[in-house]
Amino acid sequence: MDIEKQYQSMVGNLLPYGPAWNKTEPILLTLALTLSKTHLRVDDLMREIDPRTTTELIDRYEQICGLPDSCYSEQFQTLTTRRNRLDSKLNLTGGINKDFYLQILAINGYPDATITNYNNNVFTCESSCDDYLYDEEWRYYWIINIPHNYQITEMTCEDHCDSYLRTWGDKQIECIIKKLCASHTYVIFKYGVSNA
């Protein structure tokens, strides 16, 4: 039974008993139609509350959250991208740990990305051969490994002579991570590797 017929039945059942009342009165049918439309509109509003499913209120949500920010170009955003960014801004609990950054990467399309931290121990002559060769300053560096080559652009004959031979990367995710990383750390992005 559809929602309009349910409201017709409910309105009809609210009438007092007796021959003076007709359940098919046009005003009652109109009232049932109005109630069913209101009900469906409330259902739409309930879907709008969740930033992952919002459509009508997305501009308002973005205004409240300060989006789009400098990491996103307004002209290249899809509705899904906007919803994902809004969801990550509103619903992710922050933290300065791998799990938090891996969640951010997954929401933005990199579920297979990994993070490598440099070892805190300084390499000495007593270190094992698989220890890192970095000094103490490198404990503030960390690597985001993105396994597939993303947006690789090769230089062509039509490019200017001062153009890069090859460019790659996703400036959007790099911007997001750099905004969220701790201020005393440095992030290195590696594309086309699974682990460094």
DSSP string, 8-19: HHHHHHHSPSST
Q: Where are the domains of the chain?
A: 3-49, 58-91, 95-191
Mean pLDDT, residues 64-71 taken together: 83
What is the pLDDT, as a whole number, of residue 121? 61
Q: Are 44 and 54 in contact (CB under 8 A)?
A: no
Q: What is the pLDDT of residues 22-43, one digit of tens each?
A: 877 888 888 889 999 999 999 9
Neighbours of 193 (CB within 10 A): 14
CA distances to 45, 113, 159, 162, 165 from 155, rounded to whole Å, are: 49, 27, 6, 10, 5
pLDDT at 165 over 70: yes
Mean pLDDT, residues 128-135 taken together: 70
Averaged pLDDT score across all residues of the chain: 82
- The rounded distance, in Å, linking the Cα atoms of 36 and 81 is 33
- Cα–chain center distance at 90: 9
pLDDT at 149 over 70: no
What is the pLDDT, as a whole number, of residue 168? 76
Q: How many CA atoms are closer than 13 Å to the CA of 31, on its beta-carbon side?
A: 13
Phi, then psi, of 86 in degrees rounded to 5: -65, -45
DSSP character for 76? G
Side by side, the strands of the sheet bearing 114-117 are 114-117, 141-146, 186-191
What is the pLDDT, as a whole number, of residue 195? 59
What is the pLDDT, as a whole number, of residue 38? 94
Highest mean pLDDT among 31-35, 144-148, 161-165, 170-174: 31-35
